[in-house]
Structure 1
Amino acid sequence: MHRIALALVAAQLVVRGLVLAQGGFYWDDLILVGRAGQYPLWSASFLLYDHDGHFMPGAFLIAGVVTKLFGAYVWWPAAASLLLLQAVASLAVWRLLRILLGDRPIVPVVLSGYLFGALTLPSFAWWAAGLNALPLQAALAWVAGDAVRLAETGRARHAVTGVAVFAAGLACFEKSLLVPFVAAAVVALGYRGCVRAALWRCRRLWLGSVVVIAVWAVGYFTVVRLPTGQAAADQAGGLVSHGLSRGLVPALLGGPVRWERWLPGPPWADPPGVMVVAGWSALAAVVVATLYARRGAAAIWIAAGGYVAVSQVAMVLGRSGPGTTFELSQTLRYLADSSVVLVVAAALLIRTSARRPVRLPGWAVAPAIACFVAVGLISTVTFARSWHTDRTPDYLTTVRATLAARSTPLLDQPVPPRVLLPIGYPNNLMSHVFAAVRPRPAFGTSTPDLQMFDDTGRLIPAGIAPVRAVVAGPEPRCGHRVDVLATLPLTGPLADWEWTVELNYLAARDGSVSVSLTDGPTVRVPVVAGLHQVYVRLTGSGDGLRVRPVTAGLDLCIAPGPVGGVLPR
């Protein structure tokens, strides 16, 4: 049985590796890589960051190590980290099944439900999501296994490893708070006749978990602004029903087979109606049969259903709002860890004693498993096709090559919304996204060569769409003479915003000047001797431009120039 189980795990990793082979960085991955380039690896600013309501220092640490060791936006190390985490999770599930069922031939059969189902696939293929989901899946299985071993043997090492793995999972994803409760449920359901005694034998694991939660809670409530969903009852009901009927239930048959996608969002399950009906029918049949045939089946189903319900409630509370669509719950990311719980529930049902003699025909088992695996593989192939339609990897490759070929500073700009939405500001700025890229020019507040990136990542000439302008100065053949602080009037007032100024100047020598709007912060701008242009990015408001030489003995003549936003020329 060991060889069969290991062969199944290896087959899963091969299949998942093929999914990753043509994948790449997507959405939140850019925030992880960008912040790794902005901050030291062990800094609180990097590790203790409120990432859209998630507290995940462990995930940031993994992303930071990968980025700093191998460079920014090199996909194979990130993909390798996902495969490694998947291997750990799969082996942890196998270990738990062996603990519950021994080395019975049924173990590889049950294990296949976790290995080849599509429920865990969307969160696996996306690096940022996988750094959350895979440690949680591994922790669910490993800590439950340690709890059972601790109840059976009383050996302290199971408490130590259980607490350590729980802490690691919690460092990557706050949903790992559920891990000790799942472990306690597995112990209680596995030892129905002596629940109190079994749970008491695990007291060191529970106490250690309480300490971990207390330490974690200090960090979490210090860092994270708690997400508050704004769902009405109908939206909450729609999210839950779509997540169950079009997400979880078809996945019980290996589905959903079909995926839909609205770029730039991730793929979401779009199962055919017949699969939804078949899934609910199969689930109802299994529940009724086990309630009839197995002792304690009701408690097992209640526990498994409770975990799924908690997952759905967490999704509704954390992600609902006016802009949320029901398809969010069909992305399956919020149900991925339920795959572990459902496999464990199956093992507990097999482990319980029979109430009535009901035997499944042996000839039906192999075809049923083969059908599940086949449907799961079809779902994997169709998911991969949908997942690979994203063009973010091509964009990142083009920008990296462009940056490497340029030495002149660039003015900062957001990446295209299809790459990272403006809601991620300031993490969606080029200076943030590409902070870890080397070599590259500086993203400064001024540049003598105004260019911008198009939506494909190519650098193209740019100009200023004028909103206001510097008015002509009083001195003939000079305009505004600046040898001390001078305020250059604009053709009208500017609202408080981010503006770009075309500064047309004649400088007597090389040096630098400070520039600001009437009401706004000052930036330092280098100038060179002679007649030149420099483009300056300013924030603020007012009806004048303040310019002051910083270099001693520097004076300039400044001619009219536009003030506005940057657009392709």
Structure 2
Amino acid sequence: MHRLGGGTRGRFGSASPVIVAAACLILLQLALRGWVAGSGYFYWDDLILVGRAGRYPLFSTDLLLHDHDGHFMPLAFVTAWVVTEVAPLAWAGPVLTLLVWQLAVSLSVLRVLFVLLGARWTLLVPLTFFLFSPVTLPAFAWWSAALNALPLQFALAWVIGDALLLVRSGRRRYAVSGTVVLVIALLFFEKSVIIPFVAFAVAVLAHYVDGRPHHVDGRHSAIRVVARRGARLWVGSGLVLLCWLAGYLTVVGVSGVHNNPLGMRDWLPNATSLGMVPALVGGPWRWERWLPAAPWADPPGAAVAAAWIILISVVALSVYARRSVWPVWLFAAVYVLLMQVPVALVRGGPNTAAELMQSLRYFADFGVTLSVVGALILRASPREHTQRLLLGPRAAIPLMVLFVVSSLCSTYTFVRSWSPSPTKTYVANVKSALEHWDGVPLLEQEVPWDVLNPLAYPQNLASQVFSPITAPGTFADSTPHLRMITDTGAIVEAQVWWNRRIIPAPDPHCGYRIHGGDPVPIDLDGPMFEHEWTAQLNYLANRDGQLAVAFEHGKTVAAPVRQGLNTVFVRLVGSGSALRISSRTEGLVVCIGSGPVGVASYDN
């Protein structure tokens, strides 16, 4: 019968070959993940994090307490702020954070496996699965997703290890350590609420597989022992969860359920059969992608069937060959189900594709949990007369090599699908163009839809996305020289379409005369619906000053004017059949003539 942390009974010298081998595997994974990270670029929500980091100071509620699509993640915003402050819109910064976090996660997983199995060569089996399984790959490659997923994985493995050590030794430091790590994880990702519950379940299962489960009270005894010996950690975690919940509900609130049980019938099987089960054997080998969406698992049908056969065979063989492991597999099955349901409920809906569940980025923590499940099974005592069914090193090594090769194939196909990025070209060209900015403001505009979806408005505005690298006044609501950023990131001349026009005024010498603070109605030749429009105001001013411009229904915009005959282009949001213009400068008289009001565009 194994004991928790059994490896500590060996001297460091006897443990070193296993630890050296584990370290080599971790370094190999780090090199592989470095290639994956280097092949990517800022994607979607990354630009929101960078944009907010460029606009708000570090210790501001607008940054730290921002409700990011239902996520409460102040430490993720802190990380993004620091990286952006050091190297604004430079991909090297996110790559470094990804690799540092990945190393921390891998070492945390090694720690918990060492606690469960000691310095035994069998430790390398679950460690290899975690290090190379594609189940953690999509969440790693996307920086904003990784700022949620990697701290969760680290904390999950660390707190499980602390729970096991606390139950074994009773030392208070493990309760303190586990509670502190839980706090940090919760401030990166709200899904970290699962950590103490998973840690409790694993500690119970470890005690159970070590005991005499054929006794009637074996199961209940394990629960009582773990609850009593780990009470400091469980009480501390409970208090932390209560405090965190109060903060979460204050910032985010309770989001509605968007799906229904009928819709979940497609979502859950897709995530399991086409995503997680193939990943258990190194799949899915093939990824599909429709730009600008993220890749999703699309394994061949025959491969899915083979993965299920392998999984069922492994489960059946382990239950037959080892004592007390069926509760471990039951725990794994329940974990998979409970992990999927919240995603299906919160992210699902009639306008969301079921392929979202196949992207695997929501299930990266499954890699940690299944590695621990594997360690628990290897920890269980073999049944009598089944020694011949247990794999020895000669059989295990080829199987591990096959798994790694399979995982490398899936990693390669993922990177090939993930690396095409319209954002990379767009951002590089905009950065280059802004280096030669002449001081004349650019009108505010949205970035291309394949860089950041309009659903992210107003965070998809160019002024927000490029806030870390732009000088004050680079973007404005009015400009004397109309230029636009193209979909490829070049800054070019632009013009206003004649969707509507300003009707010429009766006064042939002045047109519409603007003076004083009372708004003057400037009639259009037809109504305009609620939208973003650009008004081209051709004017003659007696002095420099400022006008206030708005639609009949919309927000007022300040537009500077210069003495003489000039033009100013004003970006307006609103609707109506007329503009309302007034003077904000004492003594300013402006005559406005006819001109277009419509969509600003450039020649392709």
Tell me if both proteins adopt one fold, taking TM over 0.5 as the criterion.
yes
Q: Corresponding residue for 2:479?
A: 447
Aligned residue among 521, 546, 561 for 2:555: 521
1:58 equivalent to 2:75? Answer: yes
- Give the AA of the match of 1:409: P
Task: Give 1:430 shift.
Answer: 1.1
- C-alpha separation in 1, matches of 2:595 and 2:418: 47
Q: Corresponding residue for 1:495?
A: 529
Aligned residue among 245, 259, 273 for 2:273: 245
- Give the AA of the match of 1:478: C
Question: Contact 1:404–1:440 at 8 Å: present in 2 too?
Answer: no
- Give the AA of the match of 2:459: N
Task: Give 1:111 shift.
Answer: 0.4
- Residue pairs, 1:198-213, within 5 angstroms: 198-213=226-241
Question: Contact 2:511–2:591 at 8 Å: present in 1 too?
Answer: yes
SS in 2 for 1:427: coil
Cα deviation digits, residues 58-86 of structure 1 (max 9, x gap) = 21111111112222x11111111011111
- C-alpha separation in 2, matches of 1:218 and 1:240: 31
- C-alpha separation in 1, matches of 2:322 and 2:66: 47
Q: Corresponding residue for 1:379?
A: 410
Q: Corresponding residue for 1:389?
A: 420
- Give the AA of the match of 1:299: P
Q: Would the alpha carbon gap of residues 355 and 199 (structure 1) be closer, same or farther in structure 2, given more than 3 Å must change?
A: farther
- C-alpha separation in 2, matches of 1:551 and 1:114: 67
- Give the AA of the match of 2:349: G
SS in 2 for 1:54: coil
Q: Corresponding residue for 1:512?
A: 546
1:69 equivalent to 2:86? Answer: yes
Instruction: Give the TM-score normalised by the residue count of structure 1.
Output: 0.97
- C-alpha separation in 1, matches of 2:132 and 2:377: 21
SS in 2 for 1:120: helix
1:117 equivalent to 2:133? Answer: yes
- C-alpha separation in 2, matches of 1:552 and 1:439: 30
- Give the AA of the match of 1:330: Q
- C-alpha separation in 2, matches of 1:495 and 1:420: 24
Q: Corresponding residue for 1:370?
A: 401
Cα deviation digits, residues 392-417 of structure 1 (max 9, x gap) = 11111111222222221111111111
Aligned residue among 237, 247, 251 for 1:223: 251
Task: Give 1:550 shift.
Answer: 2.2
Aligned residue among 25, 40, 47 for 2:42: 25
1:565 equivalent to 2:599? Answer: yes
Instruction: Name the count of aligned residue pairs.
Output: 568
Task: Give 1:472 shift.
Answer: 1.4
Question: Contact 1:517–1:545 at 8 Å: present in 2 too?
Answer: yes
Task: Give 1:568 shift.
Answer: 2.0
- Give the AA of the match of 2:533: W
Task: Give 1:378 shift.
Answer: 1.2
Compare 2-11 and 91-100 and name the one that shifted more. Answer: 2-11
Aligned residue among 128, 144, 150 for 2:160: 144
- Give the AA of the match of 1:400: K
Q: Corresponding residue for 1:542?
A: 576
Q: Would the alpha carbon gap of residues 327 and 544 (structure 1) be closer, same or farther in structure 2, given more than 3 Å must change?
A: closer
Cα deviation digits, residues 204-259 of structure 1 (max 9, x gap) = 11111111111111121112243434334443121111111111111111111111
SS in 1 for 2:523: strand
- Give the AA of the match of 2:480: P
User: Which aligned segments of 4 or more residues in structure 1 are displaced greater than 4 angstroms?
Assistant: none
Structure 2 residue ranges without an equivalent (≥5): 1-17, 212-220
- C-alpha separation in 2, matches of 1:358 and 1:382: 40
Aligned residue among 458, 466, 470 for 1:438: 470
Task: Give 1:522 shift.
Answer: 2.2
Cα deviation digits, residues 300-333 of structure 1 (max 9, x gap) = 0111111111111011111111122221111111
Q: How high is the sequence identity, in percent, across the aligned residues?
A: 47
Question: Contact 1:187–1:199 at 8 Å: present in 2 too?
Answer: no
SS in 2 for 1:426: coil
Q: Would the alpha carbon gap of residues 270 and 492 (structure 1) be closer, same or farther in structure 2, given more than 3 Å must change?
A: closer
Task: Give 1:540 shift.
Answer: 2.8
- Give the AA of the match of 1:398: N
SS in 1 for 2:266: helix
Aligned residue among 472, 485, 507 for 1:475: 507
- C-alpha separation in 1, matches of 2:385 and 2:298: 39
Compare 449-458 and 544-553 and name the one that shifted more. Answer: 544-553
- C-alpha separation in 2, matches of 1:49 and 1:268: 28
Aligned residue among 173, 178, 182 for 1:157: 173
Aligned residue among 420, 424, 431 for 1:400: 431
SS in 2 for 1:165: helix
- C-alpha separation in 2, matches of 1:453 and 1:413: 8
- C-alpha separation in 2, matches of 1:215 and 1:156: 22
Question: Contact 1:50–1:225 at 8 Å: present in 2 too?
Answer: no
SS in 1 for 2:135: coil
Task: Give 1:480 shift.
Answer: 2.1
Q: Corresponding residue for 2:448?
A: 416
1:551 equivalent to 2:585? Answer: yes
Task: Give 1:17 shift.
Answer: 0.1
- C-alpha separation in 1, matches of 2:347 and 2:523: 48
- C-alpha separation in 2, matches of 1:197 and 1:142: 21
Task: Give 1:199 shift.
Answer: 2.4
Q: Corresponding residue for 1:294?
A: 322
- C-alpha separation in 2, matches of 1:172 and 1:327: 26
Aligned residue among 149, 165, 169 for 1:133: 149
SS in 2 for 1:436: coil
1:334 equivalent to 2:350? Answer: no
Question: Contact 2:551–2:572 at 8 Å: present in 1 too?
Answer: yes
Structure 1 residue ranges without an equivalent (≥5): none
Q: CA RMSD in A?
A: 1.6
Q: Corresponding residue for 2:112?
A: 96
Compare 276-285 and 439-448 and name the one that shifted more. Answer: 439-448
Instruction: Give the TM-score normalised by the residue count of structure 2.
Output: 0.91
- C-alpha separation in 1, matches of 2:242 and 2:385: 47
Q: Corresponding residue for 1:173?
A: 189
SS in 1 for 2:384: coil
- Give the AA of the match of 2:461: L
Task: Give 1:553 shift.
Answer: 2.1
Compare 194-203 and 241-250 and name the one that shifted more. Answer: 194-203
Task: Give 1:123 shift.
Answer: 0.4
Q: Would the alpha carbon gap of residues 542 and 271 (structure 1) be closer, same or farther in structure 2, given more than 3 Å must change?
A: closer
Aligned residue among 465, 473, 476 for 2:497: 465
Compare 173-182 and 449-458 and name the one that shifted more. Answer: 449-458
SS in 2 for 1:191: helix
Compare 35-44 and 358-367 and name the one that shifted more. Answer: 358-367
- Give the AA of the match of 1:265: A
Question: Contact 1:143–1:180 at 8 Å: present in 2 too?
Answer: yes
SS in 1 for 2:497: strand
- C-alpha separation in 1, matches of 2:120 and 2:573: 69
- C-alpha separation in 1, matches of 2:142 and 2:472: 26
- C-alpha separation in 2, matches of 1:223 and 1:311: 23
SS in 2 for 1:476: coil
- C-alpha separation in 1, matches of 2:243 and 2:505: 64
Question: Contact 1:403–1:440 at 8 Å: present in 2 too?
Answer: no
Q: Corresponding residue for 2:121?
A: 105
Task: Give 1:265 shift.
Answer: 0.5
- Give the AA of the match of 1:16: R
- C-alpha separation in 2, matches of 1:271 and 1:384: 16
Aligned residue among 3, 8, 11 for 2:28: 11
Aligned residue among 60, 70, 78 for 1:43: 60
- C-alpha separation in 2, matches of 1:137 and 1:90: 9
Task: Give 1:427 shift.
Answer: 1.1
